[in-house]
A and B are shown apart, each in its own frame.
Chain A
Amino acid sequence: MSGWIEVGELEDIPKRGARVVTTPQGDVAVFRTSDDHVFALRDHCPHKGGPLSQGIVHGHKVTCPLHNWKIALDTGEATAPDEGCAATYPTKLEGSKVFLDLNIG
């Protein structure tokens, strides 16, 4: 399908933080971890739909701001014993540019 879309510079996203990309399929949270990996998840916690982009990022996880579920950034899976999964989207870095693929990974 459509493939990679450039969404911005790595520096636009704070380390241990996230930014939102609005799409026809709803908001996507694009995360940058302390080791400069970039991940993208549907901005919707599998628990009660909290905006994951607003959570605290630690390691390759984000803690949802509403009820502290911890979601793995690479798989979208909630950390046990919580159960649930947020949709993930492929990302890549080319130089300093961040790319997102909206075909669900």
Chain B
Amino acid sequence: MKEKLVLIGNGMAGMRTVEELLKLAPDAYDITVFGAENYGNYNRILLSPVLANEKTIEDIMLNDDQWYQDNNITLHKGKKVSKIDRVNRLVIAADGTQAKYDRIILGTGSNPFIIPVPGNDLQGVISFRDIHDVNCMVDSAKKHKHAVVIGGGLLGLEAANGLMLQGMHVTVVHIMDTLMERQLDSVAGSMLKKSLEERGLQFLMASHTEAILGDEHVKGVRFKSGLEISADLVVMAVGIRPNTELANQSGIYTERGVVVNDTMQTYDPRIYAIGECVQHRGVTYGLVAPLFEQAKVCANHLAHLGFSRYEGSVTSTKLKVTGIDLFSAGDFIGDDTTEDVIMQDAYRGIYKKIVIKDNKVQGAVLYGDTVDGAWYFQLLREQTDISDIRQYLMFGQAHLGDAGHGGQNAAEAMTNEMEVCGCNGVCKGDIVNAITSKGLFTLDDVRLHTKASNSCGSCTGLVEQLLASTLGGDYSTAPTKKPLCKCTEHSHDDVRAAIKKHHLISIPAAMEYLDWKNQDGCHVCRPALNYYLISAWPGEAKDDYQSRFINERVHANIQKDGTYSVIPRMWGGVTTPTELRAIADVVDKYEIPAMKVTGGQRIDLLGVAKQDLPRVWGDLNKAGMVSGHAYGKSLRTVKTCVGEEWCRFGTQDSTKMGVVLEKLTWGSWMPHKFKMAVSGCPRNCAEATIKDFGVVAVESGWELHVGGNGGVKVRATDLLCKVTTDEEVIEYCGAFTQMYREEAHYLERTAPWIERVGLSAIKQAVVEDEENRKALHARFLESQKYAQKDPWAERVSEDVDKHEFNVLKRIG
């Protein structure tokens, strides 16, 4: 007999919980839903665009009746629950409908706050909360002229903007002297006021409403100052109060909201509460992102998994008024322990303020240019040390050495035909359509449905902006702790820590310990786990080839036609006539269709049939060449210039240093591909300053550079330090490489890793802490003992993975 789950409140938070639960445990419960409104579940945050005539009610429906049927959910529409009988475990609606329960999700949401003044119950006095209110406003706009919106916060301004677009003459009344004072400081607030005034809204600031005037229908509003204005419609948008009525009546403990613990349970553990009716660790939330985080946790607990906890949310806000860009997050006022970085350009209508404490972002207000809102929000949530980027902070992420896609930002300014994702050919219009028609909320949803940002990821920021501008207000980029993939709730860091701490040495052991959702994982988590295991326990964890991407399984690069490319290693890019002859012979013998010199100073043989690979390698091995690892998440190449031996500008022997470094690091598996270069002088012909680890010779020694990237997103390196001896170059190289191997997330290049953890942290660990540097280097050398085996030779002479290269059977 299935347990019975009753959801009270057919709103976004509750239904999101049900959807998450169905994903985790589709058959665990008989589900019944009670909703007071006569509609299915709709996207409440998009009511403002409906009022502004930018969307229709149909556009914002999330789950229609058919969906409830398809998922075997009993839906009681238009039935308000009046009682929870906790003794007999019965939910009773006002019309007498009853449902037995084993567990309840309370999602009663919030009520608009109605200010206690005479006349607040007159006809024509409404709030802005549901479809009914929107319909009232639209009707009123057809018949009447004057509207007064009480409340100059987010909701009030969106209502006012919508009413104005419906053709009404609108006055916004606000009790404070700054608009949206909970989201904006006074400067941004007055800029907002000015631009709304230019659109035609009128404002009465610092005005206290004394009475709403009229006999039956509202006629006007009177203020404490004595001023009276006429009004045919009054919208109260001064705030919301958690709806705790039902909880109170049923004897469930409430304060401002229904009090819940970190698994979203009330004082009655059979009863969960979620969304706007909830008070968690003293905080109530009215934005959608925290509600979705709560929904995930609640569903996890309902599904008897119980390993995730809700720890509160940091929220950000954006105003859904088309044409006005505004963003705020965190503590944007600051105090005497914080520092402000401010930029103001009145002519362009731009204002940015970032509040910093101890080199960490505490809050931000952006007006007029909100492109970097998501980035500041990320710095805020992850509490990244910004001391290295402080001087660029104000100019946005595009200025962090990003010459490739810099400035490609104004998502809202793009036309629908403009391409967002160059890899998958997805245009802005496709994404916006998918978000609205399919009801998408997260980056993952958009990736799944449109493929945008699903390949190289360089347009991720742009896609996030499109999400934010389409959904408006309360879109949040991602939860602070991002699960490694859909097979687990644990983050990359959690997984790594567990592998290290509990000495897990196989994928099944790691999956079991970490409660993986399915025993096989997927193509995302298995390669990550395999890397984390072999990097944490070199020589001890067994490399699972079936969990490696094909390129790393057959040690060659798969091409679009299913053939492979082969690149032999040339240490430091140095070769000999013998090697070149051997390569030429191989190409002739196996009729390899194409040869090319690569960007990393190697020779690429393209179009090799899979079954020929071992013989091609065998011939190359005989001439002394080994795998170039051009296919792996591993050390790729060390590019060099000719250096002092030949070059009239050379200051050191860069070629020799390149060879030494390549001999040191080849064969090591990494979180992602890893490229190095050594230049013999600051003219930098080897382009060392766009490599993961770049060495530039100077007269007095060597400069060591890290975190460069020449690919999708060009990023110049950061200078790690300067050293004088060759031995130091080697030790720093090993230490930096090992730190990257131990700390970066799988598939994270050095550039984003350094931006995530901060260069200071790396300097501290590798440069300033000598003992730690030596320990890192020693661990690298230890790990290399197991890694430096030529995978080609193993397959040619030791028959490793023989099955990979032979067909099972030939028929016909």
Contacts and interface: CB of A to CB of B under 8 A. Distances in A.
A21 B809 CA distance: 5
B808 A19 contact: yes
Nearest to A2: B811
B130 interface: no
Nearest to A15: B546
A24 B547 CA distance: 31
Contact of B811 (A5, A12, A13): A5
Interface in A20-65: 20-24, 30, 33-34, 48-51, 54-59, 63, 65
Interface in A50-105: 50-51, 54-59, 63, 65-68, 70, 81, 102
Contacts of A16: 520, 546-547
A22 B810 CA distance: 5
Given A14-B803, A56-B546, A21 B526 contact: no
Contacts of A70: 523
A22 B803 contact: no
B491 to A, nearest CB: 20
B523 A21 contact: no
Given A55-B523, A56-B523, A56-B547, A20 B803 contact: no
Contacts of B811: 5, 7, 21-24, 102
Contacts of A57: 520, 546
A81 B812 contact: no
A67 B809 CA distance: 27
A82 B225 CA distance: 63
Contacts of A8: 808-809
B338 interface: no
A50 B527 CA distance: 20
A20 B546 contact: no
A8 B807 CA distance: 11
Contacts of A81: 448-449
Contact of B527 (A20, A49, A56, A66): A56
Nearest to B810: A22
Interface in B757-812: 803, 807-812
B431 interface: no
A48 B560 CA distance: 8
Contact of A58 (B520, B545, B550, B562): B520
B558 interface: yes
A19 B550 contact: no
Contacts of B547: 16, 56
B520 A34 contact: yes
A21 B808 contact: yes
B522 A58 contact: yes
Interface residues on A, range: 35 or more
Contact of A17 (B546, B562, B812): B546
A66 B563 CA distance: 12
B408 interface: no
A94 B591 CA distance: 41
A66 B526 CA distance: 17
Contact of A20 (B454, B526, B550, B807): B807
Contacts of A48: 560
B39 to A, nearest CB: 26
Contacts of A22: 807, 809-811
B523 A7 contact: no
Nearest to B487: A58
B810 A65 contact: no
Given A19-B803, A21-B809, A58 B560 contact: no
B262 to A, nearest CB: 32
A8 B808 CA distance: 7
Contacts of B527: 56
A84 B449 CA distance: 15
Interface string B87-128: 000000000000000000000000000000000000000000
Contacts of A65: 549-551, 558
B549 A21 contact: no
A14 B546 contact: yes
A65 B810 CA distance: 23
Nearest to B611: A20
B720 to A, nearest CB: 35
Contacts of B551: 65
A51 B526 contact: no
Contacts of B560: 48, 50, 66
Nearest to A23: B811
A30 B545 CA distance: 18
Interface of A: 5, 7-8, 12-17, 19-24, 30, 33-34, 48-51, 54-59, 63, 65-68, 70, 81, 102
10 nearest A-B pairs in the assembled complex, by CB-CB distance: A19-B808, A63-B523, A24-B812, A56-B523, A54-B550, A58-B520, A16-B546, A51-B562, A7-B809, A65-B550
Given A15-B546, A21-B808, A81-B448, 11 more contacts: A7-B808, A16-B547, A19-B807, A21-B809, A56-B549, A58-B526, A59-B520, A59-B522, A65-B549, A65-B558, A66-B560
20 contacts: A12-B803, A14-B546, A16-B547, A17-B803, A19-B808, A21-B808, A22-B809, A23-B812, A30-B808, A34-B519, A50-B562, A51-B562, A55-B550, A56-B550, A57-B520, A59-B518, A65-B558, A66-B560, A70-B523, A102-B811
